[in-house]
Structures are given as structure tokens and as C-alpha cells.
């Protein structure tokens, strides 16, 4: 049975941009080359419909996503040039997270080798994000798969402000965000639980904070599904982050989160999110390490 979702279309070109979409293809190549996954383990993204987009996004933004008719102001808000290839890739990433959720509900675990667009708002893109795949997949699971409560665990270095805004006041979705306090977004949203961390926080303090907060939140909320944003931009040397985890700390984090879900029999869908290095291969190695660690936890 497939456990990993990937499409070559995830890697739309963004020349000269700090966000390197080719990291997703490179991470997938690492997993195949090291035989962490085989072709039989890989599924294609689900197709995203207009109805799916409208569950999260406004009619105006949905029309733009489907037509590709974006303005210069739209690109400025998203902080990247939105081409038709870029929007196609973001729709594929959203389909990948939907498919990862389907795999998780069917077999306990699904991993999207991409996704994690947690800054996208209902009416616009933001922070390199155009379609909020986390929110879309959570709502689809509730409406079509009968999942009563979804927890979104966001461990990207940046707060999941778009996701928090989408689910403001919705008690059926718990948004957990542990992030660096003094970086983008400047104006934070209120998640169900925010755990802001100071610049320079290292692995030991980071993991202590996670162990102190996430299990209690999970046991209190009792989700029927966890969607996990496993951002690699918490690691030391990230171009957009200021935390100081090592690759080994990142693996410890993934082992902990995967273990919480596995031991509680909560279906787990994983997305990758941020990770910004001078060379895309550096981010790809971190993402591949996260995926390998989660797979190992479920063997």
C-alpha cells in the first residue's frame, strides 16, 4: 500500500527565489536512491476541484487559482511571481496533502513529499503560499470521511497564521503552532495553542517545550486525525529562521510526534513546509531525513 505522495510537478521554477521548489524533487530522489521507498510506495496527488477550493478560499481567489489570472499585487502579497506553472504546482501540493490524509485514514500514515502552505489566507496568497492545503485537507476529511475532530500540528519555524485564521472559532479543528516569536508573520494570529520560542532556541529546549505542550493538547482534544507540518526551517543555519536545532534534533522531533500519533492510534498525515538553504540539496536532505524518521517510527 502506498504511503508517500509525490508529483514531479511539485517543483515549478522560481529563478533566484529563496524558496526552492526543486527541494521536493531532490528529497524524493534521496528516498528512492536510498531505497527508503520504492515505486510501489508512491501515490499521485488527488485532483483538487473548485468545490474543494471554495471550502477554504473565497470565490474571487478560487477563480484566480483556476484561471491563472493573477495580478502584480497578488504576486507581491505572496512574495513570489505567480505564473501558471507555479499555481499548477500549488494545486498539486494541495492534492498531495488530501491524498496523504486519505492514506492516513486508510492505513494509519500518509506522507506528502511537499505541502504545508500554512500562510495562505482565504482571499489571498502570503508567505510563498497560495492554497492552504492543510485547511483544505482537514475540511475535506471532516465533510467526506466523517472525521469529527482534526488537529493541525504546525512545527514550521514560522507561525501558521493562515491556518489559524481559517479555523478561528471552529472548535472541530485544533491548531497547534510552535514557532520562532520574532520573525514573519509580523502580526501573529491566535491559534488554538501557540508556543512562541525565542531566537537561538536549541534542540534540547525546543524538545522540552514540545514534550511539555503537545501531548497534553492532544490528549485533551482527542483528534481523529493529525495533519503535521514538519518544517525543516527550525534547523541551525536556515536562511529565514533563527532557531538552532541540529539534523539529529529534527529526527528526534519527528520520532516524538510520530510516536504520539502511533501510540494513540491517531491517523497521521505529514507535510514538509519550510526549509531554506543556499543549496536546495541541503533542504532536501533535511526533508528526506524527516520522512525516513517517520517511516521508521511506523515500521
Question: Residue ranges of the domains in the chain?
Answer: 4-298
Residue 40 is predicted with a pLDDT of 96
Instruction: Quote the crossing angle between the two packed helices 133-145 and 84-107, to the nearest 10°.
Output: 40
Exposed, middle or buried: residue 66 (CB in 10 Å: 0-12, 13-18, 19+)?
middle
Residues 180-193 have pLDDT tens digits of: 999 999 999 999 99
b/e for 107-135, b at 16 or more Cβ within 10 A? eebbbbbbbbbbbbbeebbbbbbbbbbbb
Q: So what's the pLDDT on residue 1?
A: 78
Between the CA of residue 279 and those of 60, 74, 86, 110, 186, what are the distances in Å?
Answer: 36, 27, 20, 27, 27
Q: Look up cell 486519505; give the residue.
A: 102
Which whole number is the average pLDDT over 131-150?
98
Q: What is the pLDDT of residue 182?
A: 98
Is pTM beyond 0.85? Reply is yes
Q: State the residue for C-alpha cell 467526506.
A: 144
Class at the top of the CATH hierarchy for domain 4-298: alpha beta
Average pLDDT over every residue of 53-71: 97
Confidence of residue 82 (pLDDT cuts 50, 70, 90): very high
Does residue 121 contact residue 16 with C-beta atoms inside 8 Å?
A: no
Res 204 pLDDT > 90: yes
Q: Is 287 a catalytic residue?
A: no
Which of the residues 93, 118, 119, 158 is marked catalytic? 119
For 235, half-sphere exposure in the C-beta direction (CA atoms, 13 angstrom radius) is 25
Cα–Cα distance for residue pair 95/126, rounded to 1 Å = 19
Can you point out the beta strands (E) in the chain? 4-5, 42-43, 109-112, 150-154, 173-180, 193-197, 225-229, 268-271
Confidence of residue 88 (pLDDT cuts 50, 70, 90): very high
Say whether 164 sits in a helix, a strand or coil.
helix
User: Are 277 and 283 a contacting pair, CB within 8 Å?
Assistant: yes
Average pLDDT, the chain: 98
Instruction: Give dist(CA 235, CA 79) in Å, integer.
Output: 23
Separation CA 30–CA 156 (nearest Å): 22
**Contact (CB, 8 A) for 213 and 262:** no
Amino acid at each position: 500500500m502506498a504511503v508517500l505522495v509525490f508529483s514531479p510537478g511539485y517543483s515549478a521554477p522560481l529563478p533566484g527565489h529563496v524558496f526552492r521548489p526543486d527541494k521536493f524533487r531532490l528529497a524524493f530522489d534521496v528516498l528512492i536512491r536510498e531505497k527508503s521507498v520504492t515505486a510501489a510506495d508512491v501515490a499521485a496527488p488527488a485532483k483538487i476541484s473548485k468545490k474543494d477550493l471554495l471550502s477554504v478560499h473565497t470565490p474571487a481567489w478560487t477563480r484566480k487559482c483556476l484561471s491563472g489570472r493573477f495580478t502584480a499585487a497578488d504576486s507581491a502579497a505572496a512574495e513570489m511571481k505567480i505564473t501558471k506553472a507555479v499555481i499548477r504546482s500549488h494545486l498539486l501540493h494541495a492534492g498531495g496533502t488530501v491524498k496523504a490524509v486519505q492514506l492516513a485514514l486508510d492505513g494509519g500514515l500518509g506522507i506528502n513529499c511537499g505541502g504545508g502552505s500554512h500562510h495562505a489566507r482565504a482571499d489571498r496568497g502570503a508567505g510563498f503560499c497560495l492554497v492552504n492545503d492543510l485547511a483544505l485537507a482537514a475540511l475535506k476529511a471532516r465533510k467526506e470521511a466523517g472525521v469529527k475532530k482534526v488537529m493541525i500540528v504546525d512545527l514550521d519555524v514560522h507561525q501558521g497564521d493562515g491556518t489559524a485564521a481559517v479555523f478561528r472559532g471552529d472548535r472541530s479543528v485544533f491548531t497547534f503552532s510552535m514557532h520562532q516569536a520574532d520573525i514573519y508573520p509580523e502580526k501573529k494570529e491566535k491559534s488554538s495553542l501557540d508556543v512562541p520560542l525565542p531566537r537561538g532556541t536549541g534542540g534540547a529546549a525546543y524538545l522540552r517545550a514540545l514534550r511539555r505542550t503537545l501531548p497534553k493538547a492532544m490528549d485533551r482534544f482527542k483528534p481523529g486525525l493529525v495533519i503535521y507540518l514538519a518544517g525543516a526551517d527550525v534547523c541551525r543555519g536556515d536562511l529565514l529562521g533563527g532557531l538552532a536545532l541540529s539534523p539529529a534534533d529534527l529526527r528526534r522531533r519527528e520520532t516524538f510526534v510520530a510516536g504520539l500519533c502511533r501510540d494513540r492510534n491517531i491517523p497521521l498525515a505529514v507535510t514538509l513546509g519550510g526549509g531554506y538553504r543556499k543549496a536546495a540539496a541541503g533542504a532536501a536532505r533535511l526533508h528526506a531525513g524527516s520522512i525516513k524518521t517517520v517511516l521508521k517510527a511506523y515500521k
